[in-house]
Amino acid sequence: MRKASERERENRDRLFRLMQEHPELPIAPMVNDEVVCDDTFGYWHGSLGASFLSAYVMGDEGIYIRNDSSDEMEDVLNNTVGGRDWYTDATEDEIVNAYSKLPWTECILVYIELPEPD
């Protein structure tokens, strides 16, 4: 019988602690694209990766995890607020303000990684 590795136990313990400390928050599993090998099965095996408090917003081309760097802000705004040119004349303060007002969903983010080898 395979036992959980130290890394797996640490990831699990952190997730459980976050769940107990923040029972009001949804859990948002973020699956690594390497976990899903093809489309012939309904479920794929992965392992719990890192988990932490975060926020996400749904965009035109995917889900965006909150990252307050200016490069990320423009990319997220381009795909959530209606196009690449909306901020051409915007000041940095206006960009930061628009970014902060997006409909962020606070969550416990959990990365789902490739399973550890037996």
Q: Say if residues 99 and 76 touch (Cβ distance below 8 Å).
A: yes
The tens digit of pLDDT for each residue in 78-96 reads 888 766 666 667 888 888 8
The tens digit of pLDDT for each residue in 21-64 reads 999 999 999 988 777 777 776 777 888 899 999 999 998 778 99
In angstroms, how far apart are the furthest CA atoms of the chain? 61
pTM recorded for the entire structure: 0.81
- Other beta carbons within 10 Å of 11: 20
